[in-house]
Amino acid sequence: MRILAGTSNKALSENLSVILGERTVTMDIRRFPDRELYIRCLEDIKDEDIVLVQSTYPDENALEFLLLSRLAKDLGAATVTGVIPYFGYARQDRIFNEGESFSARTMAGLVEKEVDNVVCVNLHKGSTLDEFRDVRGSVNISVMKVIGEFLRTAGIDMVLSPDKGAIAYAKETADVIGVDFDNLEKTRIDGSTVSIAPKKLDVEGKTVCIVDDIIATGGTIFRAQEALREQGVKEVHACCAHGLYTGGGIERLEPVLDGLCSSDTIESKTSAFSAAAPIADWIKERVE
């Protein structure tokens, strides 16, 4: 087995390589002056099981995924397992309005043509995994237990999800720490505005952590911490799988939180824990 690291997730690829005890393939990946990708594999990977690590966000990373996976097959790889730390377009997981693109399905259709197995992480909606219809193995890994391990000694009294739909995340994290969990009540008004209903929670004087799959604009977490502070919380931390931080999300949140952390599915200054261990566990069981 060999790790083929695309350019989107160097740290995660390195972590996977260490945990699996498998070398990364030496590659030459750069851009021509017109920004088109130049990709060359500098080693013989014929008959190898290739674990390709590359997100499909933003768009240029998606194209790199497709070029790398096809290259691995063209060079005679025995199998290609696509590890997609952040699967772009996962939020377009259905047709909301007539005439819209079902983007998650289309992207899954492109990916599945090139891989034998697909490994996603905290897909916005778990059912998106079913869109990979023609693969041997597929999995939607959750990093919520990893968040629990990370927070075990952080003095967290309670774990919260922003809404009821995400309460399973809060439970996963809370169970590892050994504390209570609950959910806030979020209503999305539009793409960048949310409201948090004044649900009474037993948070007075407590240190709480809000967990979510994605932090994008930061609007959800911002409103959540406001609602919690109104109820006398002592500290508010936030942890997510994917720190997208669109439109100044970090700058918006850092001043109002006591801690802000994300995994390495999207590398940023808040990446504090790695998705590598649960990904490696699945690969060990299914690919080796």
- d(Cα 280, Cα 155) in Å, to the nearest integer? 28
Stretch that binds ligand R5P, among 46-54, 134-142, 148-156, 207-215 (CB under 6 A): 207-215
Closest CA to 277 of 19, 6, 1, 4: 19
Q: Which member of 72, 170, 216, 257 binds ligand R5P (CB under 6 A)?
A: 216
Asked if 9 touches ligand R5P (CB under 6 A), the answer is no
Handedness of CA 103, 106, 110, 116 (dihedral sign): positive
271 contacts 241 by C-beta, under 8 angstroms: no
Distance CA 131, CA 107 (A): 9
Which of 120, 167, 194, 209 touches ligand R5P by CB under 6 A? 194
Size of the site for ligand R5P (CB under 6 A): 12
Q: d(Cα 93, Cα 37) in Å, to the nearest integer?
A: 28
In the bound state with ligand R5P, the residue whose beta carbon lies nearer, of 101 and 193, is: 193
Binder among 7, 220, 262, 270 for ligand R5P (CB under 6 A)? 220
C-beta of 184 vs 287, nearer to ligand R5P:
184
Any alpha helices (H) in 97-218, and if so which ranges? 103-112, 144-151, 167-177
Is 186 among the catalytic positions? yes
According to the binding rule CB under 6 A, does residue 218 interact with ligand R5P?
Answer: yes
Residues 157-176 that bind ligand R5P (CB under 6 A): 162, 166
Which token pair is 177? Answer: 């720490």
Query: Does 107 contact ligand R5P by CB under 6 A?
Result: no
Q: Does residue number 236 form part of the binding site for ligand R5P (CB under 6 A)?
A: no
Given the residues 46, 164, 171, 186, the one annotated as active site: 186
* Residue span binding ligand R5P (CB under 6 A) among the ranges 6-14, 16-24, 58-66, 211-219: 211-219
Taking Cα atoms as reference points, which of 12, 136, 243, 237 lies closest to residue 4? Answer: 12
What is the C-alpha to C-alpha distance for residues 56 and 86, in angstroms, rounded to an integer? 6
Q: Does 217 bind ligand R5P (CB under 6 A)?
A: yes
Q: Which chain residues interact with ligand R5P by CB under 6 A?
A: 162, 166, 194, 212-220
